[in-house]
Amino acid sequence: MKVKIEKNKKRNIISEMFSLLAKEMGKLYIVQFIYMGVFFLLLSPFFSAIITNLLQMEGYRYLTQELMPIFFRKPLVIAAIILMFFMVCVCIQYIMLYSFEFIKRSYTNEKISAIMLLFTTGQKYILLLKQSYGRIFLTWIGIALFYNIPVIYLTGKFLPVPKVIIKALSKYPYVSTSFSLLVVLLCIHGFLRFFRLSYILFEGKKEKESRKLSIKLYMKNIWKTMAMWMGNNLLVVGIAILFYLISVLVTIGLLVLFVPNTLKIAVFCTIQEHIYNMILVVVLVLGMNLQITGSVILFYHCSPSQKVYEEEIPQNAFGIKKRILGGALILILGVDLIVTYDTIRNGGSVSLQHFGQICITSHRGDSAAAPENTLPAIESALKSTADYIEIDVQETKDGEVVLMHDDNLLRTTGFYGKVSDMTYKELKNLDAGGWFSKEYTNTKIPTLKEVLKLCKGKKKLNIEIKTGVNMPELEKKVVTLIEKYDFVRQCVVTSVYKESLNKVKELNEDIVTGYILSSAYGRYYLDEEIDFLSMRDSFVNERVIRLAHKYGKEVHVWTVNSERDVIRLSQLGVDNIITDKPDYVRQELYENTGNKIIIELLRVFL
């Protein structure tokens, strides 16, 4: 079949562009959003696993801002980054080519099979790379960046990893100037090659010829081209703002209906991060389609060639290809679902999970709302906006691992005696909640098994081992339970006893360990058995954090409950705040990152 692509110069360019966007574009957006969703969900864990393994090979657990200049100079790391960059480029180029093909066929009133076009686009992508000996790959990268300048800006502004990298680079002289110059060069490159892909895809021109023709056509229509590009970018930014406002209003509506008053602002702060991610995907897909649609229509309106370009459309029976494509899609979606479920159920990579963000740990469960280290306190903490729940564990006389902070039971049960001197059956008869309030009278001391079952797939745990001379098997029992309930990626183990952490690492080196320091002295950041330092807030200073981060270790701080301390510690750059008031700290952190106006508006509205 021959498809004729003819020009229509009588219609207004803008009206024709929006007419084309409204015509059959629902198919395009649905396919692209599915594609981008699969792309992010599949590649994110893959990239995270690469970085995590490289960190472990170099002897680090966490990637910190201070460590980045050292880590990213390693030859193997550079090779891995090039590989990841190449994979991202291929995925984006593929979806760009798909958009060009879809828009071209929609423009010529050709019947479109959005799913089958994914297959033929792949064939065409490989053919283009072969014909240009791969040179078009670099051209395509420049054009993709040029099309997605709003996405690049939003990525650097709101996403944690790029935001931290940009912040780190901004400390070096001339980085801002160099970046501005790079953007200018990118725009010049993009405008001069604005029509290059259209010449290659729609008129079958060779690479060199398409470059010359694109420059010539751009110079003749310079103001139209720049106006089209700028107008599309402004439209994308406007839609992003509108989408954000709608998301905020919908979120507020849901908060009013379903969330208690004390949690509304904290929950909104948590949801806000996910809204930014959604906006990024929407802006990426929408902005790219707008720019491609504008360039296609502008090309057909402005191209001096009167030649009718004919493209052969294969008429083969697609039975086998459909089966292959269907099988591939089912396989990809299956893997995607498994990876997603595994990440939700067992946690993601510790190394990059909260890169650039301060995590919050709820101290001894939600100890401000319910008796510490009890199931009511754990259940309350699960409803909070905390990232981790901290608990303390000890071993009974008959070998059961239970939750208890103090060596003596007197403070929380009224019974004078040690956990290690009693059996679990005897402990079950004690009241661990009456001291807090009458509401919690007869609350029992829970086992670690019960807590692991309750928190599985919901929250991460910070398990502090309270070992002693009568608990020689405590570390082994804790590790066994962590492995039994698949909690290795969903917990960290801490202790004031270095020997306990050594035992944990010997039993399972994948478990993240934190050393609870009683002072700020010592070179603990050099110890390979320690993955992070847990310190009292009064010990923390800039030097301690800088040294810990330099050697790939995080700094967790306890017990922080005041606004002044939250602000001070966030400015110092701590990685985790352990607190009795997780929702309050979440709110204070959000205000401290420049969202105070939004918080005040929420307070008025709610």
- CA 264 to CA 258: how far, in whole Å? 9
- CA 433 to CA 311: how far, in whole Å? 78
Nearest 10 degrees: CA dihedral of 52, 56, 59, 61?
Answer: 50
Q: The tokens of 346 are what?
A: 């067992």
Candidates 572, 530, 537; CA nearest to 556 is 537
- CA 298 to CA 382: how far, in whole Å? 55
Cβ neighbors of 478 (< 8 A, separation 6 or more) are: 393, 401, 448, 463, 465, 493, 504
Q: How many CB atoms lie within 10 A of CB 367?
A: 22
Q: Are 559 and 580 in contact (CB under 8 A)?
A: yes
- CA 232 to CA 21: how far, in whole Å? 12
* Dihedral sign from CA coordinates of 69, 75, 77, 78: positive
- CA 395 to CA 481: how far, in whole Å? 13
What is the residue whose two structure tokens read 């040179």?
Answer: 135
Q: In what helix (H) or strand (E) does residue 492 lie, and over which residues does it extend?
A: strand 491-495
Q: What is the DSSP letter of 307?
A: P
Q: Is 301 a catalytic residue?
A: no
Bridge-based pairing of strands 309-312 and 554-558 is: unpaired
- CA 435 to CA 440: how far, in whole Å? 8
Annotated catalytic residue within 189, 301, 354, 363: 363
Q: Are 389 and 378 in contact (CB under 8 A)?
A: yes
- CA 544 to CA 514: how far, in whole Å? 15
Q: The tokens of 176 are what?
A: 């801002």
Q: Is 556 a catalytic residue?
A: no
Nearest 10 degrees: CA dihedral of 571, 572, 573, 576?
Answer: -100
The helices-and-strands tally (H runs, E runs) of the chain is: 24, 11
Partnered with residue 447 across adjacent β-strands are: 402
Q: Are 390 and 364 in contact (CB under 8 A)?
A: yes
Phi-psi region of 4 (alpha: psi -120 to 50; beta: other; left: phi over 0): beta
Q: Is 110 helix (H, G, I), strand (E, B) or coil?
A: coil
Q: Are 353 and 161 in contact (CB under 8 A)?
A: no
Q: Is 487 helix (H, G, I), strand (E, B) or coil?
A: coil
Q: How many CB atoms lie within 10 A of CB 71?
A: 17
Provide the annotated active-site residues: 363, 405
